[in-house]
Amino acid sequence: MTRAVESADSATRPGLAALSLGALGVVFGDIGTSPLYALKECVAEEHGVPPTPDNVYGLLSLIFWALTMVVSIKYVLFVMRADNDGEGGILALLALVPERLRRGGRWGLGALAAVVLFGAALLYGDGIITPAISVLSAVEGLEVAAPGLHRYVVPITCGVLLALFAIQRHGTAGLGRIFGPIMLVWFGTIAVLGVRFIVRHPAVLRALLPTYAVGFVVHHGTESFVVLGAVVLAITGGEALYADMGHFGRGPIRTAWFALVLPALVLNYFGQGALLVHEPSARGNPFFAMVPAGAFTYALVALSATATVIASQALISGAFSLTRQAIQLGYLPRLEIRHTSSETEGQIYIGAINWMLAIACLALVLAFERSTRLAAAYGIAVTGTMAITSGVYFVVLREDWKWPLWRALPLLIVFLSVDLSFFGANLLKFLDGGYVPIVVATLIFVIMVVWRRGRTTLMRRLVTHAPDPAQFIADLERDRIPRVPGTGIFLTAQAKGIPVTLSHYLAHVHALPQRIVLLRVAFEHVPRVPVEHSVEVEELSAGLYRATVSAGFMEHPCLPDRLREARQSKPLALDQPDTTYFVGRETFLATDSGEMGRITESLYSFLYKAASSTTIYFGLPPDRVMEIGMHIDL
């Protein structure tokens, strides 16, 4: 079994409490704000069921057992055990799968990896919808206090979202310190509100029994399947518990979930249910109906808006982390990544992703205008990713942990029966807005696949046209090639052989530097690689070296610093002023005669041009970089 986050899971009680408090502000924001809209959608007039006592009990039972089966059992007790050196998430889970199942064919992408990539792409759809529906639901509380404020809901929501995305470039280190305490107040508040109404109608607690969920399904038949599309709103954010595991560890997340988050959510949902039993007219917005109209409503709106901003922040940061992992694993082109904190490595900002999310969120709010309408677009992305996670987890159980089939298969059946039921229910909302995350995921998936295929085809082409290593080394040793003072570092993606950039340089300059280093950056399927073990140097011939810098998929290595810090590179003195970095810059012809075809190669060429330059991405000194251009038809 893979190693867990020992420092976090074995923390002292004060340390565990601090980490659990921090997890409240990062991990549980999404699922913690679901009471704003989940039960409301279940009983909404448009597609819900009437809030009769039997219906309310059945819905509460479905919500409780969804939280129990999906979040408590599947993720917290089982899936979170599958960590990659402490890191979680669907791409980290893929990294645990044996290499033979990840790669395949001429595209360098196996079927399992393709499915996981689509699951990762679905998370971008979740990252677009969550901020929109969360903030919109919170601001809609103003209508409960003053119906005349209806026309201001959309403008205020857009303003909050725009401000949220605008501050991303400054980093969230300062805000992060208060996220946990604010969410502690939020969970305490919703728990107290729930208890207030449960005390008035304690019979609602009978819905904890699964018989009420079963009875609801039996009584309503196919209609209950439609309602599952609204029930699933209560478990959105479950995947975040796994994805953000690397920040806090299993122990703090489990502690926060079972000690505070789950009880607070259940109390609030059951409190809303008790309210609906006595006041069915509150079905329009049962959450905000839990406080008296007026000053209490405005205060709850303010707290809700703050909590939804925190929830949105977690999704935005998650999109940044997911993008960086995809880049390091070779599924997305390089993008400019800026670290916004000198203390926390995970605090990063990717401008292109930030503003694409911002535009998409604002477009959703302007197009749907109401959280009820936007709820139709929610759920497909989350449940799709959950189902894929279950499938990959089964592969890890069988291939990595060597579980026997009789032990692993029952888990898969239980997990998929729940995931696919929710996914199928949400597919019914496809034409009402469910197409949004599918379209977004498909576009991102196409980009990932085309980029992967392009990189694989390019590497194959470069290896084919590379000079013969034995002949090249023989020419160097026989002094057939003039040498000039200085060190030339030729960046290459090839693990063996002589890179084409070196032969092109020789063909045009007719001379080579006195010392030549063939430098490759290898991103491993682990989160991080210790600096002292990250550089390997091999002498191929007198004055010709091959160096490999290893980095994890959570790292963003600055090559000059890495070479300077690593002990193995000191004999080369690669940071001397006479060092020049040589990088390739290909131009793709995109003709019909190429292997990829005109359209696919044109898309790859566009992505290649849009990618961050090697100089910027690897922190190379611009005044010591020389680009070597080549024309290639893939």
Contact 348, 170 (CB under 8 A): no
Exposed e or buried b per residue across 600-610, where buried means at least 16 C-beta atoms within 10 angstroms of its C-beta? bbbbbbebbee
- Whether the model pTM is above 0.85: no
User: CB under 8 Å to 41, separation ≥6 — which residues?
Assistant: 47, 48, 230, 233, 372, 375
Helical residues (DSSP H) of 283-294, grouped into ranges = none
Residue with tokens 């290595």: 557
Distances (CA, A) of 17 to 197, 256, 260: 30, 9, 12
Q: Where are the domains of the chain?
A: 6-454, 467-632
Q: Retrieve residue 235's tokens.
A: 């478990």
Q: What is the DSSP letter of 208?
A: G
Amino acid at 53: P
Question: For residues 476 and 513, what is the distance between their CA atoms, to the nearest angstrom?
Answer: 11
- Read off the pLDDT of residues 470-511 as tens digits, 9 standing for 90 and up: 887 787 777 677 888 888 888 888 878 888 888 888 888 888
397: CB partners within 8 A, 6+ apart: 403, 407, 408, 411
At 184, is the pLDDT very low, low, confident or very high (cuts 50, 70, 90)? very high
Residue type (1 letter), 217: V
- Is residue 547 a contact partner of residue 535, using CB atoms and an 8 Å limit? yes
The pLDDT tens digits for 12-48 are 555 677 777 877 877 888 899 899 889 998 988 766 6
Q: Binning pLDDT at 50, 70 and 90, where does residue 173 land?
A: low
pLDDT, tens digit, 9 for 90 and up, residues 111-153: 888 888 898 888 888 778 888 888 888 888 887 777 777 888 8
Query: Residues near 566 by Cβ (< 8 Å), separated by ≥ 6?
Result: 531, 532, 534, 535, 549
The CA-atom distances, in angstroms, between 328 and each of 111, 209, 224, 527 are 20, 47, 43, 10
Token pair of 582, please?
Answer: 């040589």
The rounded distance, in Å, linking the Cα atoms of 429 and 434 is 5
**What is the tally of helices (H) and strands (E) in the chain?**
28, 8
Average pLDDT over residues 245-272: 89
Residue 49 has pLDDT above 70, yes or no: yes
Q: Is the dihedral of CA 587, 593, 598, 601 positive or negative?
A: negative
| Fold classification of 6-454 (topology level) | Amino acid/polyamine transporter I (1.20.1740)
Q: What was the pLDDT predicted at 10?
A: 45
Cα–Cα distances in angstroms (integers) from residue 202 to residues 178, 270, 400, 496, in the given order: 35, 9, 47, 71
DSSP 526: S
The DSSP element (H or E) to which 148 belongs, if any, is none
Contact of 489 with 581, CB cutoff 8 Å:
yes
Collect all residues with Cβ–Cβ distance below 8 Å to 302 and sequence separation of at least 6. Answer: none
